[in-house]
Structure 1
Amino acid sequence: MLKTALTPRWLLGLLLVLALASGFVMLSKWQINASTLGQVTADPAKDVVRPYSQVLQPHDPLSMTEADTVVEATGSYVQGSTYLVENKLKDGAEGYWLVSLFVPDDSQQVSTSLGEGPRGIVVARAWTPTAEIPAEPTGTVTIAGRVVGNDAPLTSKDVSEENRGKGRVLASANSSYLTNVWNAALFNGILTLDSESTGATPLTDQGTIAETATLLDSSGALQPIRAQQVTDDTVDWLNIFYALEWLVFAGFALYLWYRLLKDSVEKTTDPTLYFEYEGQYWVDEETGRPYYWDPADQAYYYFDDIQDAPPHLPGRG
């Protein structure tokens, strides 16, 4: 078999099969890479506190590259602006976010159809297990936390008659909706707080918010939200299945070449496995090709080329 495999015809066929199999392997590799394209890993740089103005830009949507970034701002809360946002979980417990309007000290005055005023930030101040709205901190406050994307706009189904009457319960935190609620120009996105202080934000040596950071809450009932970066380590198993398919195709291409080679060799060494005939067969010493005697035609024929048997064979004149 090796002697036949080393002939130019079969070597060329092998090269073509190897090229085809290599293409299938490359497609398999591409499918494997595609299976993890949707994964999102945590970026340590996003945990370092930055000024809010580096992330939140007027009129610009919150991009994927800027979402989950930790920022800080100094300014003041608009008194009486807080709403509850229902169905918010913390450590498995269901509760509310306290969402307030915060105006940075360096915010520029803007004129919109809603009127003229400074552009504000939607701040999710804290998580609370009860549907109670405490007063916002007064005076100048420095806040720090992670900027997250808007919730999908939903309608509240809160069953509390007390809160429904006050109209202070929302189903989602969405800056586009709160623009109309507060009649104020807002930056896109929600700033979820880890820290609220009258001085500097407590930071670690790496520039991240220290775990000792707290909120300005005299009652002690409010809990920092401490939002984490959104990550996704799932694998698309459909792509994995396709990758395995391409490997099977590559293996089949190599097997097909081997099977054709084996059949060719067996046709030479034992042609009776592949042809129906009557009589005996012999092997031509010069060419190594098997031939047989056809009693019906009273002539000799090669098995692989019955139309072109050489004249030196017996019975071929």
Structure 2
Amino acid sequence: MKTALKPKWIATLVGALLAATAFVWLSQWQFGESKTVTADTSGTTEHAVPLTEHFQPGRDMYVADADQIVTATGHFVEGSAFLVSGRLQDGKEGYWVAAAFEPDGAPGKNVIPVVRGWQAEADAPAALPTGEVSLEGRLLPSESPTGTREVANGPYAEISAAWMANAWDRDSYDGFIVAFKATSGGNDAGAASAGLEQIWVGPQPSGTTVNWLNIFYGVEWVVFAGFAFFIWWRLVKDDYQRDEEYELELAAWRQRQAAREALAASGGDGAPGAEGQAGDAEAASPTQPGPAPSGPGH
């Protein structure tokens, strides 16, 4: 305790406290960032709005844009039908059947991929409805392209607006629609009319997700805070041990000095060889100080 109360170690302790406070604050920040709360948007996304009013081509799709049920009236582009592989329906893997759709009023006559339904086999897509089509479905962001078609003229691995725009040589929305229902001339033009199974994609579920990397960083900062105090304690302990070693050496030196003084006072009448033994003791000592050290800093 006497060593710890030295001014330099009190100042060091204050520094350790400041560092630990900063580390704890960083830990709290990391723990706060580890949880992402997904808002429940079902109150807004499930009310259909016109596509051309909700989302415009030529820009990225943000969280506020995605998952919205939209309506659109327009026509399918002839010869644009394609399949998307690796899509599950009731636990079975199959294909989405999609095509380019040009909504009325779309800026620059941009098209958007529309998924019409699901089929189990890689058969040629069903014929597209002709004439004006009104549809309703969920707007989803474009999928990241991973490659071209699996085989020549075969299915695509994903619905990528970039790939579709190149394949159709048309400007495209950065997203696609999964159609829930479609009509043409008052008649059903949805999945069932083309011999396909209806697809349902629900809204993004609300909840809390945990990022374990942030939690790891938070724990790491707590460890750093404890380590700051450990370093201070270790420095104080080393200083204390140096003082202890000095005191032992000083006591041994004083003992040797007392022996020499006693021998000198006796006029050399001590036991034979006493002086030589004292000299030998000095020679064997690891340190042979001259004048007595003045303090612990020796």
TM superposition score category, shorter chain reference: 0.5 to 0.7
Give the 3 Å change call, closer, same or farther, for CA 244–175 of structure 1 in structure 2: closer
Aligned twin of 2:172: 186
- Where structure 2 has 5 or more consecutive residues not aligned to the other structure, the ranges are 258-287
* Whole-angstrom CA distance in 1 between matches of 2:28 and 2:85: 45
Shift of 1:147: 2.0
Q: How does 1:277-316 map to 2 (within 5 A)?
A: 277=249, 279=251, 295=257, 300-301=292-293, 304-306=296-298
Give per-residue Cα distances to partners, 1:266-312, cap 9 Å, x unaligned: 777xx35x65526469xxxxxxxxxx566266854455144xxxxxx
Quick one: which of 39, 45, 48 aligns to 1:47?
45
User: 1:52–1:71: 8 Å Cα contact kept in structure 2?
Assistant: yes
**Counterparts of 1:119 and 1:15 in 2: how far apart (Å)?**
65
Q: Structure 1 vs Structure 2: percent identity of aligned residues?
A: 31
- Correspondence 1:1-317 to 2 at 5 A: 1=1, 9-33=8-32, 41=38, 43-44=40-41, 47-48=45-46, 49-63=48-62, 65-107=64-106, 110=108, 118-132=109-123, 133-138=125-130, 139-152=132-145, 154-158=147-151, 167=153, 169-197=155-183, 215-218=190-193, 221-226=196-201, 228-229=203-204, 233=209, 235-237=211-213, 239-261=214-236, 271=244, 276-277=248-249, 279=251, 295=257, 300-301=292-293, 304-306=296-298
**Distance between the aligned counterparts of 1:297 and 1:4, measured in 2?**
25
Choose between structure 1 and 2: higher helix proportion. Answer: 2
CA 1:96 to 1:151, structure 2 compared with 1: closer, same or farther past 3 Å? farther
Shift of 1:157: 2.9
CA displacement at 1:227 relative to structure 2: 5.5
Contact 1:80/1:135, CA 8 A, preserved across alignment: no
Decide whether the 8 Å contact of 1:71 with 1:147 is kept in 2: no
RMSD: 4.0
Conservation of the 8 A alpha-carbon contact between 1:42 and 1:229: no
In the superposition, the TM-score normalised over structure 1's length comes to 0.64
| Closer, same or farther: CA 188–280 of 1 in aligned 2, 3 Å | closer
Deviations 1:20-44 (A, max 9, x none): 21122233344445656xx583551
Would the alpha carbon gap of residues 224 and 7 (structure 1) be closer, same or farther in structure 2, given more than 3 Å must change? Answer: same
Superposed CA deviations along residues 202-228 of structure 1, whole A, max 9, x for unmatched, are xxxxxxxxxxxx945236642214165
CA contact (8 A) 1:74 1:105 kept: yes
What is the TM-score normalised by the length of structure 2? 0.67
Q: CA deviation at 1:149?
A: 1.3
Looking at CA atoms only, which structure, 1 or 2, has the larger radius of gyration?
Answer: 2
Report the Cα distance in structure 2 between the residues aligned to 1:297 and 1:98, rounded to whole angstroms. 96
Give the structure 2 partner of residue 208 of structure 1: none
Whether the aligned pair in 1 keeps the contact of 2:71 and 2:134 (CA below 8 Å) is no
In structure 1, the gaps of 5 or more residues are 111-117, 159-163, 200-213, 282-291, 307-317
C-alpha distance in 2 between matches for 1:174 and 1:90: 20
